[in-house]
Amino acid sequence: MFTFFRRHALRKRLFPAAWLEVLRRRLPWYHRLTPELQRRLQGRIQIFLAEKTFEGCGGLDVTDTMRVIVAAQACRLELQHDPTHFPHCTTIYLYPDAFVSPVPQLLPGGVIGEIPTVRIGESWHRGSVVLAWRAVEASTWAAWTGRNVVLHEFAHQLDSGSGAVDGAPALRSSAAYTRWAQVVNGALTRLRAHLAWGEAPIDPYAAQNPAEFFAVATELYFEAPQRLRAFDPALHQLLEDYYGAFPSAGAEAA
């Protein structure tokens, strides 16, 4: 109950003019929201920034502009349905650029080892999201690429809300999970077949596993929905039912 009242008060707080300037100048999709959704987004950003800690890494000084852009992109995911407020993410680590992280991989001989890997984002089930600011910033003006690292990593956070990072977020019914699995498995199988023929209708990284598939499909749903619809209309519909209809961010080519 305490959280409810605290969040209610945060939503009602005056949204700082400097933050509003960031939304207006840096996020083209903000202008496509109705006034009601703009106000809702502002309230969600207030909650996000009050509840999560940002830490600069690699010498980065985290500014309010960075915090507002990350918060706005994350909150965009939940704008049209009951928000979780990403309860497992308490800290966002920001690096200036791509960072090296040990990633568990299957090595020859069947052993699991940690390979240093260059990354622009990571999502941990318990506690944190790690982002490269340069990639976050690029996603604000290069929506047509269909890439958005903040949407990607926070989609993983939504995915973990179902108890496992398995490519399905928390859904309302077992029938919804069944439908989710059917649509995603069908689309993933088709993507792998395309890739085997040397075609990449969407980012091949999506073929890694259902969790990456959901994260990449989420990026496309918000940033390049026509490309997602062209690849798989049923998948686009599934995400529309989950995220809600959302105005496209970019003037993408069909």
Q: Please identify, using beta-carbon distances, which residue of 212 and 232 lies nearer to Zn ion.
A: 212
Q: Which three-class secondary structure state does DSSP give residue 101?
A: strand
Q: Please identify, using beta-carbon distances, which residue of 210 and 225 lies nearer to Zn ion.
A: 210
Token pair 């069909």: residue: 254
* Terminal C-alpha separation, the chain: 47
User: At what angle are helices 174-196 and 210-223 packed, to 10 degrees?
Assistant: 90
Q: Does 187 bind Zn ion (CB under 5 A)?
A: no
The DSSP bridge pattern shows strands 99-106 and 127-132 to be unpaired
Task: Sketch the per residue contact string, 6 through 45, with Zn ion: x for CB under 5 A, - otherwise.
Answer: ----------------------------------------
Q: Does 77 bind Zn ion (CB under 5 A)?
A: no
Chain centroid to Cα 27, Å, comes to: 15
Q: Please identify, using beta-carbon distances, which residue of 77 and 215 lies nearer to Zn ion.
A: 215
Q: Please identify, using beta-carbon distances, which residue of 45 and 235 lies nearer to Zn ion.
A: 235
**Closest separation between CB of residue 215 and Zn ion, Å?**
4
Query: Given the rule CB under 5 A, which of 33-41, 158-166, 208-216, 221-229 is the region that contacts Zn ion?
Result: 208-216
**Closest separation between CB of residue 214 and Zn ion, Å?**
9
Residue nearest to Zn ion (CB): 215
Least Cα distance to 227 among 252, 209, 191, 207 occurs for 252
Which uninterrupted H or E stretch holds 121?
Answer: strand 121-123
| DSSP, res 115 | E
Q: Is the dihedral of CA 84, 220, 244, 137 positive or negative?
A: positive
CA atoms within 13 A on the CB side of 10: 19
Q: Does 151 bind Zn ion (CB under 5 A)?
A: no
Looking at 92, 215, 224, 235, which residue binds Zn ion (CB under 5 A)?
A: 215
Q: Which residues bind Zn ion (CB under 5 A)?
A: 212, 215
